[in-house]
Amino acid sequence: MGESPPDLPEAAERRLASGAFSSGLSVSDFGACLEMGLEPVGLVQGFCAMHQGNYAMGAGLSRSLSPYGGAGGGYVQNYQCPHGFISNEHRAWGQNYEQTWVQDAWSHGFTSAYQRMLEEATTLGAHGVVGVIDTETPLGDVGVTEFHVRGTAVKVLDTPAPTSSPWNTYLAGQRLAKVFEAGYAPVSIVASVSSVRVWAYCVTEYLMEGFAGSMWTNATNASSAVEIDQIVTAQAWSRQRVRSAARAQLHGDALHGADLRLVEREFEKGDLEIQAVLRGNRIRRFKEFDALPVPQPTVRLS
Amino acid sequence: MTNRDPATSPIDAKAQVRRAVASLEGKAPNEESTTSDLSIDEELNLHSIGWEPVELVSGVSLFSTPVGLWNWGEGEIASASEAHAQAFKFATKRIHKEAADAGGHGVVGVEVERRVFSTHIEVTLLGTAVRPVHAPRVEANTVFVSDLSARDFTLLTVAGWRPLGLATGASFVYAPRRTVGAALQQKSQNVELKNYTDAMYSSRESAMERMQRDALELKGTGVVGVKVVEGPMSFAAHAVGFAAWGTVVRLAGEAHHSVRPTMVVSLNDVEVAFDAQSLR
């Protein structure tokens, strides 16, 4: 056991020092780890319950209602009504803006839980953490999310004690074995988030209500379909941002097995919150790839 | 690169892991990072034919449809078919541009997500740009977009074919109202509803014809891995839709290379899912 990390509860330190190992691996993944010379030493976990502040810089209750109010230094794009029409019911302007405080809250919650998991692994003297699983669950209170990151800490047999933070990966078992065989070393998990709020202006609102052929939607041909530019731009930006944020964590390594998911929450027609999350494994090449023979198709007789 | 015969030179997995872990003590490589959503199996498949992943790329488009479009009517719902075609075309154009900008020669494993709402149609494409290992950029018009998995792309390449792009076709058609007399007469009978059957045939034919036209425009000889989605709309049961898409292919050389599968008889019981020895 090394020095106590700052976030590790005293009870956890006692439990981890007790001697018996625990593992979140399936039996097959456990067997595969032993074959690779990875000895499970403990199921390590990190938690963080994160509240998203509505008064944070740029957040809903602190930002101006002006269309030019900005969004805490993030991406902003304004849309002006082309009809020259003013009324309470007509949305004269719209905006796509990056919800930097949502991203910051997510990153803070995820990173804290992740670091706490690594602290437990470090306490156990582990070289790495395999089979990482992360979840985010809304708690009862509005705007509170529980981040939970867990995995199995492992020691590499016949290797000196680790001198740096444990490497970690979402993979375990045979898939991890194949990563090593392909000439890659797992470095860390990578996760990034982007959040965009879309305030529809009149054209977007009408298009989302299905008025593509009307005089209000700038249709050049009343019977033709019209692209909903504001939503397309927001979605494309969201995916682009989450990829750039992940890339910034790679430092020349590769991101492998990425999983990019986009979730939309619609409040009114065209009024959306778009959140994209990207997860994957950062891996580093440690040897030239031994090319496999070109695979041969087989027919299995049973 | 060296070719290793797994039968005669088994891998020392433990030594390999020790070497990999030791390499992490050094600095990160000063190389351009790559991103991909491929699994390790898919990446190994690509490597076996000398290709590598470059960048995770995507394209999206939403097209609005005119109000009142899904009300009762007859014949094809042309604006919906057009919205679907345009959304697919623009999403493809965008993923193609991202792949070309990243230096990819093509995109494989494209996940096609299409959603049809009463007010608009949305198409999202997400895949990994790939290229022959360390190959320089190519002209953007030669970059292909394919929904074939890396495994199928490998097999296609080995067989002497190459993907050219995505082809798609969709058609939405009204199932015409039955007369009141016909509806009453059929109420107690086992009877085919010809209006629906005819609408399905009509939308199928238009959609397949459009997909085939796409394939010919790309100068392909056929479409493989065609996916089909058909049925009534959840918000308009009197309208049916049919959409098809797949990868356009053409022979890369003179002739198809025959890939003969090898017959194998597994000695494992099907119940035995794990064998630690196989990892050695």
Q: Are the CB atoms for B133 and B51 separated by under 8 Å?
A: yes
Distance from CA of B193 to the nearest CA of A (A): 30
pLDDT in tens, A134-147: 999 998 767 789 99
pLDDT in tens, B33-49: 999 999 988 998 999 99
Q: Which helix (H) or strand (E) holds A238?
A: helix A229-247
pLDDT for residue A187: 97
Whether the predicted pLDDT of B254 surpasses 80: yes
Find all residues with CB under 8 Å of B183, minimum gap 6, and list them: none
pLDDT in tens, B126-152: 999 999 999 999 999 999 999 999 999
Looking at per-residue pLDDT, the higher value among A103 and A223 belongs to A103
What string of DSSP letters covers A62-115? Answer: TS-SSTT---TTS-EEEEE-SS----SSS--EEEEEE-HHHHHHHHHHHHHHHH
List, in sequence order, every beta strand (DSSP E) within chain B: 34-35, 51-64, 106-116, 120-132, 144-145, 161-174, 222-233, 236-251, 262-265
- For B208, the token pair is 């397949």
Give the Cα separation of B215 and B166 in Å (integer): 8
Secondary structure (3-state) at A181: helix
Locate the chain B residue with the closest alpha carbon to A262. Answer: B124
Amino acid at A154: V
Full strand arrangement of the beta sheet holding B222-233: B161-174, B236-251, B222-233
Q: Which residues of A touch B23 (CB under 8 A)?
A: 185, 284, 286
pLDDT in tens, A58-83: 555 555 455 445 556 689 999 998 88
CA-nearest of A170, A152, A196, A188 to A34 is: A152
Q: Are the CB atoms for A29 and A172 separated by under 8 Å?
A: yes
Full strand arrangement of the beta sheet holding A167-168: A38-51, A144-156, A128-138, A167-168
Give the Cα separation of B15 and A37 in Å (integer): 8
- CB distance B265–A185 less than 8 Å? no
Q: Which of B30, B61, B276 sits opposite A232 (nearest CB)?
A: B61
- CB distance A225–B28 less than 8 Å? no
Secondary structure (3-state) at A52: coil
Mean pLDDT of B216-233: 95
- CB distance B35–A182 less than 8 Å? no
Locate the chain B residue with the closest alpha carbon to A301. Answer: B265
Q: Which residues of B touch A34 (CB under 8 A)?
A: 276
CA atoms in the 13 A half-sphere facing the CB of B159? 18
Q: What region, left, alpha or beta, does residue A118 occupy, with left being phi > 0 and alpha being psi -120 to 50 degrees?
A: alpha
Residue ranges of domains in chain A: 1-59+100-182, 66-98+186-285
Whether the predicted pLDDT of B88 surpasses 80: yes
Find all residues with CB under 8 Å of A158, minimum gap 6, and list them: A37, B14, B18
Q: Which of A36, A209, A232 sits opposite B17 (nearest CB)?
A: A36
Q: Which of residues 162-221 of B touch A (CB under 8 A)?
A: none
Q: Which helix (H) or strand (E) holds A131?
A: strand A128-138
Find all residues with CB under 8 Å of B134, minimum gap 6, and list them: B52
CA-nearest of A78, A75, A67, A77 to A100 is: A75
Can you say whether the dihedral through the CA atoms of B202, B203, B206, B207 is positive or negative? negative
The reply to whether B259 touches chain A by the CB within 8 Å rule is yes
DSSP state of B232: E
- CB distance B62–A228 less than 8 Å? yes
- CB distance B41–A178 less than 8 Å? yes
Find all residues with CB under 8 Å of A71, minimum gap 6, and list them: A58, A63, A97, A98, A99, A100
- CB distance A252–B30 less than 8 Å? yes
Give the Cα separation of A183 and B133 in Å (integer): 15
Q: Which of A187, A225, A257 sits opposite B63 (nearest CB)?
A: A225
DSSP state of B278: G
Distance from CA of B23 to the nearest CA of A (A): 6
Q: Which of A35, A294, A302 sits opposite B49 (nearest CB)?
A: A294
pLDDT-derived band at B271, boundaries 50, 70, 90: low
Distance from CA of B201 to the nearest CA of A (A): 24
- Work out the widest C-alpha separation in chain A, in whole angstroms: 76
Q: Which of B18, B33, B119 sits opposite A210 (nearest CB)?
A: B119
Q: Which helix (H) or strand (E) holds B194?
A: helix B194-217
pLDDT for residue B268: 62
* Region of poorest pLDDT, from A178-187, A250-259, B20-29, B267-276: B267-276
Whether the predicted pLDDT of B173 surpasses 90: yes
Percent of chain A with pLDDT over 90: 55
Whether the predicted pLDDT of B279 surpasses 50: no
pLDDT for residue A294: 79
Q: Which of residues 54-73 of B touch A (CB under 8 A)?
A: 56, 58-69
- CB distance A294–B62 less than 8 Å? no
pLDDT-derived band at A297, boundaries 50, 70, 90: confident
Distance from CA of B48 to the nearest CA of A (A): 5
Q: What share of chain A is helix, strand, coil (3-state, %, to 5)?
A: 25, 35, 40
pLDDT-derived band at A1, boundaries 50, 70, 90: very low
Find all residues with CB under 8 Å of A201, minimum gap 6, and list them: A79, A80, A81, A91, A92, A93, A94, A95, A230
Give the Cα separation of A38 and B276 in Å (integer): 13
Give the Cα separation of B159 and B255 in Å (integer): 9
The CATH number of residue B42's host domain is 3.30.110.70
Number of H helices and E strands in chain B, helices first, is 6, 9
Superfamily classification of domain A1-59+100-182: Hypothetical protein apc22750. Chain B (3.30.110.70)
- Strand B161-174 and strand B236-251: the pairing is antiparallel
- CB distance A209–B49 less than 8 Å? no
pLDDT in tens, B5-14: 555 566 788 9
Q: Are the CB atoms for B244 and B87 separated by under 8 Å?
A: no
Q: Which residues of A touch B123 (CB under 8 A)?
A: none
pLDDT-derived band at A215, boundaries 50, 70, 90: low
Count the domains in chain B: 1
Place of tokens 């590598």: B52
Whether the predicted pLDDT of B280 surpasses 50: no
pLDDT for residue B54: 96
Secondary structure (3-state) at B205: helix
Amino acid at A241: R
Selected for mutation to probe chain A from B55, B61, B123, B279 (highest A CB count within 10 Å) is B279
Whether the predicted pLDDT of A219 surpasses 80: no
Domain ranges, residue B96: 33-251
Q: Which residues of B touch A179 (CB under 8 A)?
A: 40
pLDDT in tens, A106-153: 999 999 999 999 999 999 999 999 999 999 999 876 778 999 999 999
Tell me chain B's radius of gyration from C-alpha atoms: 24
- CB distance A236–B19 less than 8 Å? no
Q: Which residues of A touch B24 (CB under 8 A)?
A: 164, 167, 185, 187, 284
- CB distance B276–A239 less than 8 Å? no
- Strand B51-64 and strand B106-116: the pairing is unpaired
**Mean pLDDT over each residue of chain A, to the nearest integer:** 85
Percent of chain A with pLDDT over 70: 85
